[in-house]
Amino acid sequence: MRIPLFTLLVLALAASAQPTKCRPRLSPANNTPVPQLSVSAAAATVPLGSVTDVPVASVPASSAVISITDAATTSASDSDSTPSDPAPTDQSPTSPTPDSTPARPSPNPNPTPHLPLRQNILLTSSPLDADLDGSSAVSQWIVEYHNEFRSEFGAPNITWSPALAATQADHLSRCEYAHFGSDNLATAWSSDSTKQWDVDELLDLWAGEWTAHAGAVDGPLDHFTLMVWKDVTEVGCAWTLDCADPGWAQRVYFTCKYSPPGNIVGQEAAEVGGYIGA
C-alpha cells in the first residue's frame, strides 16, 4: 500500500517535535521599609521646659504600627531534561505500619506577663478629694492595677496612701515635673483639645518596661522595678491637665509616689522577682 507523501511529512514533523517547559517570569521582591512608632514613658529630673518626651496621643492610631511582609517567590527548576522512568521496585508485601501518635504541644517555656485589662477610667483635670483619699474609682483602680501586676512577679499587695497622693498633687499644682523621692513620672500630650486621658494609658507606660527587665529589649526599666519592688507597701498618685505646654492643645502629667522607697542600688536581685505567672 502506498502512503501519500503529505502523510509522511506530517508524521515526520510530529516525531521531531520536543515539548518545551515554560519558565515563570519572576518579579523582584518589593523591600518596602516598615514604619514604626516609638512610645516611651516620661521620667525626668529636669525643669519642666526642657522635657522632651515622645508624645503618646499625638499620632493617629491608624499609623501606630505598619508591618509589610513580602511574599517569598519560588522559581521553577532550570533543568529541561525529561525525567526518566522510575526504576522497578520490589513489590513484595510489607507489614502495615500503625499511624504515629501526634505530638502534644509543649507548654510555653517562656511565659510573658500581661498588662492589666483596661478599665477605661478617665482622669479629671486634677485630683478631686475622693481621688486623694483613695475612695474614687480612679484611685482604687490604680491600687488594683499595681496589685494585679505585682502578683505576676511575686510581690505582695500594696494600699493607697492619702498622704503620698497629697504630696504629689502639691508638686503638680505648681507644674513641677521633677522627681521628689521614690516616685514615677509620666507625661503625654495631644493636639486634640477634647482628648480624654485614660489612667491605664499612663500606667501601661511604666509596666510595659518589663520587656527590658526580661532582656527582650534595651531601654529603661526603673519605672517597672519600682512598681513591683517587694518592700513597697503604699502608693499615692496625682495628675494635672492644667499645666500649659506651648504647641500642644493638651498635656497630662501623672505621678505616683511609693513607700517605703524602692529602686535601692544593690537590692534589685532580692526586690524584683522574675515572672511567676498571673
At 83-142, the pLDDT tens digits run 444 444 444 444 343 333 333 333 344 556 778 888 889 999 999 999 999 999 999 999
pLDDT digits (tens, 9 = 90+) for 163-199: 999 999 999 999 988 898 899 999 999 999 899 999 9
The number of C-alpha atoms within 13 Å of 37 and in the hemisphere containing its C-beta is: 14
Residues 6+ apart with CB under 8 A from 233: 156, 158, 159, 259, 260
Question: Average pLDDT of 11-17?
Answer: 43
pLDDT digits (tens, 9 = 90+) for 60-82: 332 222 222 222 323 333 434 44
pLDDT band for position 261 (cuts 50, 70, 90) = very high
Can you give the pLDDT at residue 56? Answer: 41
The fold of 118-268 is Pathogenesis-related Protein p14a (3.40.33)
Can you give the pLDDT at residue 210? Answer: 86
User: At 278, which amino acid appears?
Assistant: A
pLDDT at residue 3 above 60? no
Beta bridge pairs of residue 253: 187, 240
Yes or no: say if 115 and 151 are a contact pair by the CB < 8 Å rule.
Answer: no
Question: Average pLDDT of 20-46?
Answer: 39
Yes or no: say if 112 and 214 are a contact pair by the CB < 8 Å rule.
Answer: yes
Mean pLDDT, all residues of the chain: 70
Range in 102-111, 205-214, 244-253 with the lowest mean pLDDT: 102-111
Domain ranges of the chain: 118-268
pLDDT at residue 207 above 70? yes
pLDDT band for position 205 (cuts 50, 70, 90) = very high
Calpha distance 160→141 (Å, rounded): 10
Can you give the pLDDT at residue 119? Answer: 87
Calpha distance 28→42 (Å, rounded): 43
**Grid cell digits, residue 160:** 493607697
Calpha distance 191→162 (Å, rounded): 33
Can you give the pLDDT at residue 278? Answer: 67
Can you give the pLDDT at residue 224? Answer: 94
Calpha distance 250→264 (Å, rounded): 35
**Grid cell digits, residue 178:** 521633677
Yes or no: say if 149 and 213 are a contact pair by the CB < 8 Å rule.
Answer: no
Report the first-to-last Cα separation within the chain, whole angstroms. 94
